Amino acid sequence: KPILLQGHERSITQIKYNREGDLLFTVAKDPIVNVWYSVNGESLGTYNGHTGAVWCVDADWDTRHVLTGSADNSCRLWDCETGKQLALVKTSSAVRTCGFDFGGNIIMFSTDKQMGYQCFVSFFDLRDPSQIENNEPYMKIPCSDSKITSAVWGPLGEFIIAGHESGELNQFSAKVREQLSNIKEHTKQINDIQTSRDMTMFITASKDNTAKLFDCTTLEHLKTFRTERPVNSAALSPIFDHVVLGGGQEAMDVTTTSTRIGKFEARFFHLAFEEEFGRVKGHFGPINSVAFHPDGKSYSSGGEDGYVRIHYFDPQYFEFEFEA
């Protein structure tokens, strides 16, 4: 039976484990940022300060700081332990994606293209407090074509990988103001990007009903996982060749179908064979975010229904894999 986390009034936008996996951070279309013990679902506390929907969350390598980006036109840095707000970066439009680099010293975030403002990726070095104080990133890259909808750091913090509304993927250097490479494998918006445990590969989830696996450095397209509905989120297992996909129809179409037809299960695929081997039911609406626990023994999903569910795998799951 899954552990049910009820800490949000609106639909979940992102869930994120810290590196050890003992904490789970959840954000939603309400201003609350929650943190939970992943082992039993106990609420640890909230980070209060945002005034709009929170789109993204990240924790640094040693879980000292938490970074959040919100539709209230701000990106905020928090002390993980005390919940105190350490820094506030004001932006001219909503912050859609954010993340710490591997060392936890550099943060990046992207802003939406809206209200006449362009989409930008900004990089701040936390070791230089004046950058935050003066709201002057050491580098700002404009994205004129289509807005960034998801972004993650690549290995060694040398570049970020960004997915766009148009279905394009880019690598932006974190050192010099340039785009390193660009490909277009998806036909519609990329909703989510997550890297593998060793940062060599990453998986994208798209509105074109597919999730795709790529090489982090070359952006070579390796695998495709096909479904018959938009994929909102995809995660790679840290211990097995397994992928979990979460999605469902567009949230606005949900009321017109029964939950059985809505297909709101989490779906498991084999990484190498691209075949589906399992489904987990539960949410009463599309799944917006999925994440594997860093030890691979459980996974979590956050849905349009505002709930986060932590599922622990049966012992058979591990036996089955080792026999196979």
Q: Biggest alpha carbon distance in the chain?
A: 58
256 pLDDT band, cuts 50/70/90, is: low
115, 94 Cβ separation under 8 angstroms: no
Tens of pLDDT, residue by residue over 14-61, are 999 999 999 999 999 999 999 999 999 999 999 999 999 999 999 999
What is the structure's pLDDT at 117?
82
* pLDDT higher than 80, residue 105: yes
Residue carrying the six token digits 């820094």: 87
Q: Which residues contact 306 (CB under 8 A, 6 or more apart)?
A: 6, 8, 9, 10, 11, 12, 28
Single-letter code of the amino acid located at 276? E
| Confidence label for 142 from pLDDT (cuts 50, 70 and 90) | confident
Condensed to tens digits (0 to 9), the pLDDT of residues 263-278 reads 689 999 999 999 999 9
Q: What is the spatial distance between Cα 253 and Cα 268, in angstroms, rounded to a whole number?
A: 24
Q: What pLDDT is stored for residue 11 in this prediction?
A: 95
Q: What is residue 192's three-state secondary structure? A: strand
- 126 contact partners, CB below 8 Å, separation of at least 6: 65, 77, 87, 104, 105, 106, 107, 132
DSSP string, 209-232: SEEEEEETTT--EEEEEE-SS-EE
- Give the number of other CB atoms < 10 A from CB of residue 135: 12
Sign of CA dihedral 142, 143, 147, 149: negative
CATH number among 3.40.50.360, 2.130.10.10, 2.70.98.10, 3.60.10.10, domain 2-318: 2.130.10.10
pLDDT in the model for residue 116: 75
Pick 295 or 142 by higher pLDDT: 295
CA-to-CA separations, 192 to 36, 43, 51, 52, 62, in angstroms, rounded: 22, 26, 24, 21, 24
Rounded CA gap, 198 and 64, in Å?
21
Structure tokens at 179: 């785009």
- Is there a contact between 58 and 104 (Cβ–Cβ < 8 Å)? no
The residues near 320 (Cβ < 8 Å, ≥ 6 apart) are none
Domain boundaries, the chain: 2-318
**What does pTM read for this prediction?**
0.92
Rounded Cα distance between 141 and 25, Å, is 28
Which residue has better confidence, 248 or 170? 170
Q: Which two tokens stand for residue 118?
A: 């362009």
Cα angle 289-93-158, degrees, rounded to a multiple of 5: 65
Q: How many Cβ atoms from other residues are within 10 Å of residue 195's Cβ?
A: 19
Mean pLDDT across the stretch 282-294?
A: 93
What's the rounded Cα separation, in Å, for the pair 198 and 25? 21
| Residue 1, token pair as written in the block | 């039976």
pLDDT over threshold 90, residue 235: yes
